[in-house]
Chain A
Amino acid sequence: MVKVTVCIGSSCHIKGAREVVETFQERIAKNDLSRKVELGGTFCVGRCNEDGVSVTVDGEYYAVKPENAAAFFDDIIAGLAG
């Protein structure tokens, strides 16, 4: 199980947290990964200055922009889940 946590705090919300969550949800549904990827949210993780929405994948930190969310999912998350 890959644990993916998206920050949905104020600053990440402005940077597009909702789009990132939705993209991940679509990807999970499309690739039938609901039993391999656990998607969750968290309030502010204190890294509001990063250029992108704060995402952790199995504890590893990433800043993800909405426009790169699909590619990020395929490269990093799907890779680990696969």
Chain B
Amino acid sequence: MPLRLESGYTSLNKKNEELCGDKVEIRRNGAYTTLVLADGLGSGVKANILSTLTSKILCTMVSENISIYDCVETILQSLPVCKVRGVAYSTFTVIHISEEGKGYLLEFDNPAAIYRRNGVCGDFDREEMLVCGKKVYKTELSLAEGDMIVTMSDGVIHAGIGMTMNFGWQRKDVVEYLNRAIKPEMSARCVAWLLAAACNDLYLDSPGDDTTVLAVKVRKALKVDLMIGPPVDRSQDDFYISRFLSGEGKKVVCGGTSSQIVARHLGKTVRASIDFPDKDVPPIGYIDGIDLTTEGVLTMRKLLEYSEKYLSVSDLSPKYYTKKDGASLLAELLFEEASDITFYVGQSMNKAHEGLPIDITMKLKLVETLSKNLLKMGKNVEVFYD
């Protein structure tokens, strides 16, 4: 199985601020992904401008393989100088890494990134270098499958200062917390949420500083094939279903009619549950040989709601799903587990659904928006319309 690079972040705004002074910028260029976390001096608009400029410039230049000296020099000459403090300043962490986990890490004045290897969090072996008179730490990266980098703004290690703790928690406390709280199956997105949510708790839900966590993980690819809706040309059902069933991906069937034609093709029957773990989502079904069978449009609609929350960088609801309704099971599979998703969307119209809020236009719209959201999550998405 090939490897995939996965990333995700959560940002908390300092209380009463509309803008975050931390900024994350991510750019994919060929096999490499460049991620930058910048924390601008001060807070609010001023900090936001500094960190936006810094992250954007660094991310663009580094991803085009321009030397760090030129990058830092460009930033120094571009940043506006703060009238109050007389300096132009933003911290940064840069991760430039391939899908196989090779690349480098550059750190300037952010808390040192945490390196999680073999399930244990620790430090990188950093090398100090002087760039335009500034101390920048460089690490050559060689991540293995399952390894993770957790990087953060200082809002993380200051969480709870003078509120729940005298001095906030220290980096070693963060490491200890992550060692306890991270489960091996958690995605990068989930870990970023996990740590940011813990900080928000220490801040008693009103952060004293902008707080950002960015996590990057090297993981195995996992492919999911999802069929929703019967194809227009009925006589070709078997062709379309064989294509859907070929390949090594996990198989998901959404919709009553789709499940029936898939079951018929397999020579099996569809069984439907009558359990409602969520009152808004119709029960799931079972077909031998298919990993997950759910109802169609209503489940999709709920899944789309979940995807918006999963993507939101400020939403603090959990990023893993333990409920057993169709939408939650799909969310766990597609958002947390999958890396590559292929949709097989049948465009046949269900006469019985005409005029109801579950007709074909609704379905197509839902799939379109959902696949866009999955792309934003960093998944590889492919859609076939049959």
Contacts and interface: CB of A to CB of B under 8 A. Distances in A.
Nearest to B297: A10
B256 to A, nearest CB: 3
B297 A41 contact: no
A40 B356 contact: no
13 contacts: A9-B282, A10-B255, A11-B352, A11-B353, A18-B276, A41-B272, A41-B283, A42-B270, A43-B272, A43-B295, A44-B257, A48-B350, A48-B356
Interface in A1-52: 6, 8-11, 13-14, 17-18, 21-22, 39-44, 46-49
A8 B257 contact: no
B182 interface: no
A9 B295 contact: yes
Contacts of A22: 276
Given A10-B296, A17-B282, A21-B274, 5 more contacts: A10-B282, A10-B295, A14-B357, A22-B276, A40-B272
A10 B272 CA distance: 13
B362 to A, nearest CB: 10
How many A residues touch the partner, as a band?
20 to 34
Interface of A: 6, 8-11, 13-14, 17-18, 21-22, 39-44, 46-49
Interface of B: 255-257, 259-260, 270-274, 276, 279, 282-283, 285, 295-298, 350, 352-353, 356-358
B256 A10 contact: yes
B257 A6 contact: no
A34 B26 CA distance: 57
Contacts of B356: 10-11, 14, 48
Contacts of B350: 48
A44 B272 CA distance: 10
A8 B353 contact: no
A51 to B, nearest CB: 13
Contacts of A8: 272-274, 282-283, 295
